[in-house]
Amino acid sequence: MLIRAHHIFCIQGFIGKGYSEQFIENMENIIEKLDNSDPLIEITNAPDCICTACPRLKVSDSQSGNDKISLLGCEVESEVKILDRKVADSLGIGFGKHYPYSELLKKLKYIDEEKFDYICSGCQWYSLGYCKKRIIGI
Ligand code: SF4
C-alpha cells in the first residue's frame, strides 16, 4: 500500500471528518485494511491511495482525453511535501522504502509534543486537537 509520509499522522487523528463523503469513505476503508491486515507500506512524498479520493487532488486526462488519468498532485503539493519530509525525518523512515504498518506505529511512540507541534501546528485540522490526543496522548 502506497502512503505519503505525513498521512501516517493523519490516519491516527482521523475521526470520520474529511474533505468530502467520498474522502471519508475511502479513508475508513484504508484504515480498516491497515488495522486488520498489517500491510507492507511503501512510503512516498507524492499522491497516494488517500489522495485519490480527495477533492484537493489535481488530475488531468491523458493526451487523448480518454481513460488514462495522471495525478498532478495536491493543490497544496509543495506544502504537503514539506510535511512529508518532516514526518519521514521524525520517524526515521525513507521515501521509496517499505515498512509493515505495525512498525510505523511503533515509531510513532517516539513522537513527543515538541516534535508534534513542529510538524503539525500549521495544519488546518490541528486546532481540533484529535491528532495530538491520539498520537501523543495530550
Ligand atoms: S490531495 Fe492533498 S489534501 Fe488531499 S489527502 Fe492528498 S495531501 Fe491531503
Q: Please report the pLDDT score of residue 65 as a whole number.
A: 54
Q: How many DSSP H helices and E strands does the chain contain?
A: 6, 5
Total tally of structural domains belonging to the chain? 1
Nearest CA to ligand 1 atom 3: 56
Instruction: Calculate what percentage of the chain has a pLDDT beyond 90.
Output: 86
Asked whether 59 and 40 are in contact (CB, 8 A), the reply is no
Q: Please report the pLDDT score of residue 59 as a whole number.
A: 83
Grid cell at residue 76: 497544496
Domain that holds residue 73: 2-60+68-136
**DSSP-derived 3-state class of residue 118:** helix
Model confidence over 52-105: pLDDT tens digits? 999 999 987 654 455 555 678 999 999 999 999 999 999 999 999 999 999 999
Q: Residue 65 Cα, ligand 1 centroid: separation in angstroms?
A: 24
Asked whether 47 and 4 are in contact (CB, 8 A), the reply is yes
Q: Where are the alpha helices (DSSP H) in 38-76?
A: none
Instruction: Calculate what percentage of the chain has a pLDDT beyond 70.
Output: 93
**Is ligand 1 within 6 A of the CB of residue 115?**
no
The chain-wide mean pLDDT, for the chain, equals: 92
